[in-house]
């Protein structure tokens, strides 16, 4: 299996919403995004699938060394071998890859967050940095696009946190800020029971509203001239916001069951979002021609 084939296999078997958005990219960008996603999947699995904390730390340290080898043109892993040629094509800073690993390591050292400021650092490392790398791969001309990418990454992670409350609590991880849990009268034990009380609904509605604020902020920050190049992120946003809608419409019963979008629906959402972005891009080009002619 070649490095690119390995990354493709890793991305496709995950069923992630990210994978569906890659399908609408040009070939080189699709290869780069698939390799980036495979890297994130590899380091995330170290924490999620390794029961021994010392072994998990050792594996993350190996990945830090591997990032050093990647940027010295001597990668050993198939994922980093797939990333190597992308370093010549795109601006992919080494420190961003190290930030992602640091974010994954936070799951070994921190099991709760006292407030949103602390949680926001975690979101930045595990999601916003991925958004920044993605923005570099998609391309942009206005640096405001990086602010959009960072905030969109945070919105994605907040949505994931809401979706996975029950699963994370079972692992002893509590990503909802502790001061907000106290504000709504919710304890750790409440998040480990399959009961959707009014207090739980109020807490989770508060989390959903924050996620929506980040989606809205990101959309307001995206410059018109970069929108079409960043369409894969917008496709992901459409899928993720639909998931957020489903959670809300289900009454925030995420402690009772996991809410997921079926693969065919994700594909349909991705296709419809891509079609909408094509329509908006044509409209944008017509407006440019009209303004230049006047």
For residue range 124-162, list pLDDT tens digits in order. Answer: 999 999 999 999 999 999 999 999 999 999 999 999 999
Least confident residue range of 107-111, 191-195, 209-213: 107-111
Answer left, alpha or beta for residue 147, where phi above 0 means left and psi between -120 and 50 means alpha.
alpha
Contact 262, 213 (CB under 8 A): no
| pLDDT for res 23 | 79
**What's the pLDDT at 24?**
82
Output the pTM of the full model: 0.94
**Is residue 169 predicted with pLDDT exceeding 80?**
yes
Give the percent of the chain with pLDDT over 90: 87
In CATH, what is the architecture of 110-294? Orthogonal Bundle (1.10)
Which segment of 23-27, 148-152, 264-268 scores lowest on mean pLDDT? 23-27
Pick the CATH number of 1-105 from 2.40.100.10, 1.10.20.60, 1.10.600.10, 1.10.3720.10: 1.10.600.10
Tens of pLDDT, residue by residue over 44-55, are 999 888 888 899
b/e burial code for range 139-170 (CB count within 10 A of at least 16 → b): ebeeeebbbbbbbbbbbbbbbbbbbbbbebbe
| Domain locations along the chain | 1-105, 110-294
Separation CA 119–CA 210 (nearest Å): 13
CA geometry: angle at 279 spanning 277 and 284, to 5°?
90
**Greatest CA span in the chain, whole angstroms?**
67
Mean pLDDT, the chain, as a whole number?
94
Percent of the residues in the chain that have a pLDDT greater than 70, as a whole number: 99
Domains 1-105 and 110-294 share a fold: yes
Q: What is the 3-state secondary structure (H, E, C) of 205-241?
A: HHHHHHHHHHHHHHHHHCCHHHCCCCHHHHHHHHHHH
Q: Per mean pLDDT, which range of 4-18, 73-87, 142-156, 257-271 is the poorest?
A: 4-18
What is the C-alpha to C-alpha distance for residues 199 and 184, in angstroms, rounded to an integer? 6
Angle, CA 189 vertex, CA 186 and CA 195 arms, to 5°:
75
CA distances from 270 to 230, 275, 292 (A): 14, 9, 33
């Amino acid at each position: 299996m070649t490095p690119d084939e390995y990354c493709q296999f890793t991305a496709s078997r995950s069923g992630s919403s990210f994978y569906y958005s890659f399908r609408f990219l040009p070939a080189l960008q699709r290869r780069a995004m698939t390799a980036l996603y495979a890297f994130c999947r590899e380091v995330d699995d170290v924490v999620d699938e390794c029961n021994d904390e010392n072994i998990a730390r050792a594996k993350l340290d190996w990945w830090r060394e591997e990032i050093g080898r990647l940027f010295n043109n001597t990668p050993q892993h198939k994922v980093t071998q797939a990333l190597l040629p992308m370093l010549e094509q795109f601006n992919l800073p080494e420190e961003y890859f190290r930030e992602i690993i640091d974010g994954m390591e936070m799951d070994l050292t921190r099991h709760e967050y006292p407030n949103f400021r602390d949680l926001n650092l975690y979101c930045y490392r595990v999601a916003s940095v991925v958004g920044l790398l993605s923005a570099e791969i998609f391309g942009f001309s206005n640096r405001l696009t990086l602010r959009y990418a960072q905030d969109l990454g945070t919105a994605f992670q907040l949505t994931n946190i809401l979706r996975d409350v029950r699963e994370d609590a079972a692992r002893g991880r509590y990503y909802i800020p502790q001061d907000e849990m106290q504000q709504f009268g919710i304890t750790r034990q409440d998040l480990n029971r399959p009961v959707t009380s009014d207090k739980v609904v109020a807490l989770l509605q508060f989390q959903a509203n924050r996620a929506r604020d980040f989606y809205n902020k990101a959309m307001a920050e995206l410059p018109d001239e970069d929108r079409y190049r960043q369409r894969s992120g917008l496709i992901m946003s459409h899928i993720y916001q639909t998931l957020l809608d489903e959670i809300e419409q289900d009454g925030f019963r995420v402690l009772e069951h996991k809410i997921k979008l079926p693969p065919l629906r994700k594909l349909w959402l991705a296709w419809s979002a891509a079609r909408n972005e094509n329509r908006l891009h044509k409209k944008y080009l017509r407006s440019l021609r009209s303004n230049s002619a006047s």
